[in-house]
Structure 1
Amino acid sequence: MAHNLSGYHRSLDLFEGLLAGVPGDGWDAASPCDGWTARDVAGHVIGGQYLIRSLATGEPAPDVNTDPARFAAGDAAAAWRAARKEAATALTPDGLSRPVPVGALGRLPLGDFLQGYILEPLVHAWDLARATGQPSRLDPDLVHHAFATAHMVAADLRTAGHLAPQLPAPQGADEQTRLLAFLGRPIT
C-alpha cells in the first residue's frame, strides 16, 4: 500500500527550518507550552522522531514528555538531523504497514498514522517560533489538515493531560488562529 507522506515531510521541513533559526541564546526562552523552554519543545519533537522509529520497528517507545530537553542537549539541530534520519530509515514498507495504537481510533498501519501526524510537528513549530521570536505563520494547507486531526485526537490528549483546554478564538479568526485556540495556545 502506498502512503502519501508529503504533508508529514513538509511539517518536518517546517519544524527543521525554525529549529535552524533559533538564536544561540534562545534555547532557554519560555515557550507557549506551560513549563517548557524552546529546548524542551525541540527535544519533544526530536524525541517524537525516535517514537516514530520505535513504532516502525516494534522497539520500546521513548517517553518524549518527561525531560524532553534531553533529546536536544548540545547542538539541537544536529540532534534533530540524526533523529530524523533514524526515523526515515525505519520507514520501510514493513515499518509503514506495522499496526500501531492510535487511541480511540484503535490500531492503524503506521503509514496511515503518519498521514495525520502533521499536527504534532506543526503546532510545535509554532511554539518554537513564538518562543524564539521567529515568524509564526504556518502553511495553510498543513494547518487545515492538522485541524481535522486535532478534532479526532484532542479529547484523548486532554484526558491524558497533554493538551490544554480549548480557548475561545476571536470572531472572524483565520484557520490557524482557530486551530491554536482549539489546542489551548494563547494567541496574543
Structure 2
Amino acid sequence: MSDPHALYARTAEFAQSVLADIDPGRLDDPSPCAGWDVREATNHLIGGQHYFAACARGQGLEPRADGPPDFTAGDMVAAHRQAAAACAAAFSDEAMTAMLPTVRGEVPGGMLFQVAAMENVLHAWDAGRGAGLSPQVPDDIAEAILGVVGAIAANARGDGDFAEPVEVGDGASMTDRIVALSGRTP
C-alpha cells in the first residue's frame, strides 16, 4: 500500500474493529505490552493519535493539570474515530514533508505518520489480546506495516519502547511476525 493516508485509514479501521470487541469488564486485565493493562494500552492508543496530530500541527501536547483523559470511560470506538480523523487531517502534504517536533526531537513528518499507523496496529493488538481476543491484522495492512515495525523497533530497542524480537517459525502468520518483531510474544 503506497498511499500513506490509505494505509493509515486501514490501520485506524483495524484498531476500531478491535476496540469494538473489547468487553469493558476486561479493561483492568494485563496486556502483552509490559506494565500496561488493557485500559492503559487503549488510552495510549487513542491519546497517541491526538499526540501525533498535535505534532503534525507543530504543537506540543501540553500535559493536563488533571492528568490524561480516560478514553475508556465512554465509547472507545468513537473516541478513536475522532482521534484518527484529527490525525489524518493534520498530516497534510506540508506536514508530511516537514520536520516535526516531538518529545524526542524533530522527526520527518512522513515517518511520524507511519509511526501513528504502526501504533494503531500494535496497541490495538495489545488491548485486544489483553482483553482475551485474538486480533488478526489483515494481510494487506500487515505487509505494509512490517517494515515500519522493523525499522522503528530496531532504532528504539533499549530505551524501553521495544523488547528484543521474539522468534517465530517460518509458517507464522503476518500478525505473529509483526508482534514478534516488536518484541511481543504472539
* Smaller-chain TM-score bracket: 0.7 to 0.9
Please provide the CA RMSD for this pair. Answer: 2.9
Secondary structure of 2:161's aligned partner: coil
Q: Which residue of 2 aligns with 1:135?
A: 134
Given the superposition, is the C-alpha separation of residues 181 and 59 from structure 1 closer, same or farther in structure 2, using an over 3 Å criterion?
Answer: same
Aligned to 1:178: 177
Summarize the alignment of residues 66-105 of structure 1 with structure 2, pairs less than 5 Å apart.
70-75=69-74, 76-100=76-100
Q: Partner amino acid for 1:20?
A: A
Q: Does 1:21 align with 2:21?
A: yes
Please say if residues 158 and 165 of structure 1, whose CA atoms lie closer than 8 Å, have aligned partners that are also in contact: yes
Deviation at 1:117, TM superposition (A): 4.0
- 4+ aligned runs moved over 4 Å, structure 1: none
Q: Hey, what does 1:52 align to over in structure 2?
A: 52
- Is contact 1:45–1:124 with CA below 8 Å preserved after alignment? yes
Partner of 1:167: 166
Contact 1:27 1:37 (8 Å CA) reproduced? yes
**Which ranges in structure 2 are unaligned for 5 or more consecutive residues?**
none
Cα separation, 1, equivalents of 2:107 and 2:23: 40
Q: What is the CA–CA distance in structure 1 between the aligned matches of 2:43 and 2:127, rounded to whole Å? A: 11
One-letter identity of the residue aligned with 2:30:
A
Contact 1:50 1:62 (8 Å CA) reproduced? no
Corresponding residue for residue 43 of structure 1: 43
The 1:112–1:156 alpha-carbon spacing in structure 2 relative to 1, beyond 3 Å, is closer
TM-score relative to the length of structure 1: 0.80
Question: C-alpha separation between the residues in 1 aligned to 2:4 and 2:89?
Answer: 17
Residue 99 of structure 1: CA displacement? Answer: 2.1
Q: Give 1:143 shift.
A: 1.2
Q: Aligned partner of 1:118: which letter? A: A
Structure 2 counterpart of 1:148? 147
Do the aligned partners of 1:167 and 1:184 also contact (CA within 8 Å) in 2?
yes
The Cα shift of 1:58 comes to 0.8
Deviation at 1:80, TM superposition (A): 2.1
**SS of residue paired to 2:127:** helix
Pairs aligned (count) = 180
CA distance in 2, matches of 1:116, 1:87: 12
Q: 1:37-60 CA deviation, whole Å, 9 max, x = no partner? A: 111111111111112211221111
Deviation per residue, 1:112-144 (Å, 9 max, x gap): 542464322112222122112223111112112
